[in-house]
Amino acid sequence: MATNSLLPLWVLATSLVVAFIIFTIPEERFKLRSFLNLSAAVIKLLLVMIMTWGVFQGVFYETHFEVAPGLEFSLKADPLSIVFAGLSSVLWLLTTVYAIGYLEDSPNRSRFFGFFSFCVASTLGIALAGNLFTFLLFYEMLTLSAYPLVVHRGTQAALRAGRVYLIYTLSGGALLMLGVVMMYLNYGEMPFESGGHFQQVDVAEYPMLGFIFFLLIAGLAVKAALVPLHGWLPSAMVAPAPVSALLHAVAVVKAGVFGIVRVVYDIFGIEFAYMLGVLVPLSILASATIVYGSIRALYQTDLKRRLAFSTVSQVSYITLGITLFGPLGTIGAIVHLVHQGIMKITLFFCAGNYAETLGIHRIDELDGVAKRMPWTSMAFTMGALGMIGLPPLAGFISKWYLGLGALESGMYWVLFVLVMSTLLNAAYFLPILHRIWFRAPHPRWLSSQPVKRVECSWLLLAPPLVTAVLILLLGVFASWPMSPFSWAIFMANQEYGL
């Protein structure tokens, strides 16, 4: 029992402790730092795997203590947190590998990796948070620990992006906090429980609950980059590639969406939220974001900026799925939470590779780059096609279930949004793929043939390849019992009491 109750804490501690140790390591101790980072990532992954197995077997993991009267700090592992924790620990390992390769010979690495670990610890905290208060705690911790990563380059542009990021996220955080305070004040302790807390609540309370819902979602929507609160995300892409990858795929954006999932499913309960009538406005907002993000992405000439707007659009799929009342929509949302992360991280890894190896930042510089970097290009292609949602890749599975969810909930217009978004996604990804594979290569690439056998450092190449393979496998073998898809079904059944 002792280990069971401490396991969530250990999962957090692996990166938190490492963060503090790394801060004290001198800049030059490259090997020691890499070793620490990697071993922490591996240990964390193992712990999360143990926990996954445990949860699958029905073991209950919980750590909690009282912070102040009426306030409880609580970490626990339920299927939903396992989904997010699993995603972050897997992607963290990959991103760590990538970041070690990416930041070779660049300054301030101790600081970077320290905050990097912090960031992941916060993400894991968000995943494992057992109540609204603990969630808020880690949510804000994430806001702060991501800032040094965003401004890591220290250029004027980076600092400006950092400022924008802070203005958005801190304001959002304030709203969220207000919502949480009101929630605690009126309804007491708020542990996350599937089905929510408001099955039997008086109609007179509805306006109040609606207002609290609005506050919570408005706070979370900033990180989830819902229009019109998405402005920080595209500007934050000045960060180094591993950071963008983490930001877009796992940490910040996902934290927001994950929060929305928690609030809708485990605080309000989907059925109550449906009765409250808050789902439809949210789904309209999400749809608007999906379309708007895609349209903006179409007009970007910078590769990472285009990817950033694509994130704005894609992440809202998850929100959209949550708002579709019915198990199928839930499955779609949860699966997309994982799949989008893996696809987007692949794309950012690849964009980073292009930038790092050949200095490519703009899309029109990508002509024929596949001749020079075929493996990276392959991974990029996989990610892009997955994003469009082409079967049988990972992105398709989630899109398919979102579509079914839309039909189930009778919100037929969502289908239109999905199709529109598919077309727009194709419109901004396929031209890139055409450039990469079918245009005549830039003479510069051919003259700079790689010195080594592979096109770029292994540390940079391996992570996107792994995730690219994952995109394929998660799609093709979606029904494998331990796949995210099966988990999502498991969870949806729980949420709807099937």
Partner 1 sequence: MNSLIVLSITLPLLLALMALFESLRSGLIRSLPWAVLPALCLALLVNENLVISLPYGLTGVLLGIDETRRLFLLLATLLWGVAGVYAIGYLQRDVKQWQFSLFWLLTLSGNLGLILSFDALSFYSFFALMTFAGYGLVVHTGSSEATYAGRIYLIMAMMGEGLLLVGLLAAVYVAGVNPALDQLPLAIANSSSPVLISMMILLGFGIKAGLPILHLWLPLAHPVAPVPASAVLSGVMIKAGLLGWLIFLPLGEMSLTTLGILVVVLGVVAAIGAALIGICQRKAKTVLAYSSISQMGWMTMMVGLMLLEASLAPILIPLVALFALHHGLAKGALFLSVPMNTGRTLSWLWVLLPAFSLMGLPFTSGLLVKTAFKRETIEIVSQHWILAWLPGLLSIAAIGTCLLMFRFLGCLTKHPSADSIHFAQRGSFVLLSLLSGFAFLGLPFLGASVGIELTHEVAFGAVFPLLLASLLFLVGRMLGFNLPNIPPGDLLIPIRSVMSHLYAVSNDFVSARYEVSLQRMTLWLNEKKTRYQDLVAPEVIETAMRKQVVWIFLGLAVSFVAILRF
Partner 2 sequence: MALLAAFQIHHYFAHQLDLQKRIWWRFWLILLGLTLVWSAGDLITLYVAMEIVALGVVGLIALGDQAESYRSALRYLKAVLLGTLSFLIGSIIIWGVYGTVSLSALQQQIEGTGLTGLAFALITVGLVYRAALFPLHSWLPPAHGSSHAPLSALLSALVTKASFYSLARVWLDWGDLIGSELLAQLLGILGALAIVWGGWMACRQSELKMLVAYSSVNQVGYFFLFFPLIIGVSHEVAVLAKQGVILQVISHALAKAALFMAAGNLVAAMGSKYIADLSGMSRSMPLSLLSFGFAGVSIMGLPPSGGFLAKWYVLQASLLSGQWWWIPVLILGGLLSAAYIFRIFSRSFLEECSVKPIKPVPKILEIAPMVLALLAVGLGLLASTPLSLMTIAMVVTDGHE
CA distances from residue 11 to 22, 60, 111, 216 in whole angstroms, order as listed: 17, 15, 22, 27
Q: Distance between CA 492 and CA 17 in Å, rounded? A: 35
Residue 60: count of CB within 10 angstroms of its CB: 12
Q: Which of residues 325-354 bind partner 1 (CB under 8 A)?
A: 328
Closer residue to partner 2 in complex, CB, 115/198: 115
By C-beta, is 73 or 206 nearer to partner 2?
73
Applying CB under 8 A, which part among 78-86, 159-167, 301-309, 372-380 lies near partner 2? Answer: 159-167
Site for partner 1 in 369-428 (CB under 8 A): 385, 390-392, 396-397, 399-400, 403-404, 406-408, 415, 418-420, 422-423, 426-427
* Helix, strand, coil percentages in the chain from 3-state DSSP, rounded to 5: 75, 5, 20
- 97-116: which residues touch partner 2 (CB under 8 A)? 107-108, 110-111
Selection from partner 2, partner 1, none that 97 binds (CB < 5 to 8 A by kind) is none
- Please select the residue that binds partner 2; options are 173, 234, 259, 463, rule is CB under 8 A: 173
- d(CA 414, CA 412) in angstroms, rounded, equals 5
Indicate which of partner 2, partner 1, none lies near residue 268 (CB less than 5 to 8 Å, by partner kind).
none
The correct pick among 61, 98, 147, 375 for binding partner 2 (CB under 8 A) is 147
* Of 32, 35, 39, 155, the one binding partner 2 by CB under 8 A: 155
At CA 193, angle to CA 189 and CA 199, rounded to 5? 85
The whole-angstrom separation of Cα 374 and Cα 107 is: 30
Which string of DSSP letters, residue by residue, matches 195-223? T-S-SS--GGGHHHHHHHHHHHHHHHHHH
**Cβ at position 48, least distance to partner 1 in Å:** 23
Name which position in 2, 57, 156, 204 contacts partner 2 (CB under 8 A): 156
AA letter at 223: K
73 interface partner picked from partner 1, partner 2, none, CB below 5 to 8 A per type = partner 2
Residues 21-80 that bind partner 2 (CB under 8 A): 23, 66-69, 71, 73
Contact residue for partner 2 among 79, 130, 162, 256 (CB under 8 A): 162
Please count the residues of this chain forming the interface with partner 2, following the rule CB under 8 A: 44
Task: Note every long-range contact of 27-33, with CB atoms under 8 Å and residues 24 or more positions apart, other chains counting.
Answer: 27/107, 27/108, 27/109, 27/110, 30/109, 33/109, 33/110, 33/113
C-beta closer to partner 1: residue 81 or 287: 287
What sign does the CA torsion over 14, 127, 404, 319 have? negative
Per-position x/- string for 20-49, each x denoting binding to partner 1 as judged by CB under 8 A, each - no binding: ------------------------------
Stretch that binds partner 2, among 9-17, 154-162, 303-311, 376-384 (CB under 8 A): 154-162
Nearer to partner 2, 165 or 485 (CB): 165
Amino acid, single-letter form, for residue 54: G
State the virtual CA torsion across 186, 192, 198, 199 in degrees, nearest 10.
Answer: -160
- CA distance readout (Å), 488 to 123, 251, 389, 400: 20, 20, 18, 14
Cβ-contact 319, 260 below 8 angstroms: yes
Contact call for residues 352 and 237 (beta carbons, < 8 A)? no
Binding region for partner 2 (CB under 8 A):
23, 66-69, 71, 73, 107-108, 110-111, 136-141, 143-144, 147-148, 151-156, 158-159, 162-163, 166-167, 170-171, 173-175, 177-178, 181-182, 184-185
Binding region for partner 1 (CB under 8 A):
328, 385, 390-392, 396-397, 399-400, 403-404, 406-408, 415, 418-420, 422-423, 426-427, 430, 434, 438, 440, 475-480, 485
